[in-house]
């Protein structure tokens, strides 16, 4: 069993991957034999077959594979779940290949989760300088979401929705993941908290000033709201979630 699976959902293009792998490899030299990289694309993504050859030639020590998911469910969450299904590691981390995440902190995340934490959640809102990297409307969305979580679920978190997180794969998959959209990110956090899991937070800003630009409230919002409803039913023991 590997220690860590790096799950990379590619909704758009794999053309950015060579540059991304170049940067990522600098932070994986410490224990490369215990890490696997799983890139997952959907049928609409421009998956460049030369990417695998590039990685194999330049980084032969990396365990790397590309998976492609076909069918109706090919959103962000569906790609994450597909990648996790092929993972054999104790831990998993979700990383965007499009430059949003500060991947230099990946080893710090690994050190934190080795101490028994179920989820290491990167948070954009615990430090003023980090929250300033997020557009105002998304800061408002996050504030409303935290308020709903506190009122309906009795939960507190500085960042429910950021996809950059590392978690105990076996623990999280045992709770069950069902979301096929970006709502899979708060699903992981909310279920871990409701199950009594230990969550540690690691402050970090995002690299792109346009973070969240691909999030569409009319498209992804219903999934986020459904998590609150489902979590409320679970908390009140009306309908158990897991």
pLDDT tens, N- to C-terminus, the chain (242 residues) = 889 999 999 887 777 888 899 999 988 876 666 899 999 988 766 655 678 888 888 988 889 998 988 877 778 999 999 999 999 999 999 999 988 899 999 999 999 999 999 999 999 998 888 888 888 888 899 999 999 999 999 999 999 999 999 999 999 999 999 999 999 999 999 999 999 999 999 999 887 644 444 677 778 889 999 999 999 999 999 999 99
CA 154 to chain centre: 23
What's the Cα-to-Cα distance from 21 to each of 63, 84, 113, 138, 202, rounded to whole Å?
12, 19, 23, 29, 23
In the chain, CATH 3.90.550.10 sits at: 1-98
Fold topology of 1-98: Spore Coat Polysaccharide Biosynthesis Protein SpsA; Chain A (3.90.550)
The per-residue pLDDT for 209 is 43
The per-residue pLDDT for 213 is 47
């Amino acid at each position: 069993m590997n220690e860590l699976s790096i799950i990379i959902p590619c909704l758009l293009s794999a053309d950015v991957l060579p540059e991304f792998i170049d940067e990522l490899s600098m932070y994986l030299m410490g224990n490369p034999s215990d890490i696997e990289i799983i890139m997952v694309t959907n049928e609409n993504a421009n998956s460049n077959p030369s990417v695998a050859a590039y990685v194999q030639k330049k980084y032969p020590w990396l365990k790397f594979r590309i998976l492609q998911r076909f069918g109706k469910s090919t959103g962000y969450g569906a790609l994450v779940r597909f990648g996790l299904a092929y993972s054999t590691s104790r831990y998993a981390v979700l990383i965007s290949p499009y430059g949003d995440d500060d991947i230099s902190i990946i080893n710090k995340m690994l050190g934190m989760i080795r101490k028994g934490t179920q989820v290491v959640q990167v948070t954009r809102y615990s430090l003023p300088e980090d929250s300033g990297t997020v557009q105002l409307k998304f800061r408002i969305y996050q504030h409303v979401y935290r308020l709903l979580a506190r009122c309906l679920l009795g939960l507190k978190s500085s960042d429910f929705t950021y996809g950059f997180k590392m978690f105990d794969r076996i623990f999280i998959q045992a709770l069950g993941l069902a979301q096929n959209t970006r709502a899979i990110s708060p699903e992981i956090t909310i279920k871990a908290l409701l199950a009594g899991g230990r969550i540690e937070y690691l402050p970090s800003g995002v690299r792109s000033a346009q973070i969240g630009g691909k999030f569409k409230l009319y498209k992804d919002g219903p999934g986020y709201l459904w998590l609150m409803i489902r979590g409320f039913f679970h908390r009140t023991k009306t309908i158990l979630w897991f």
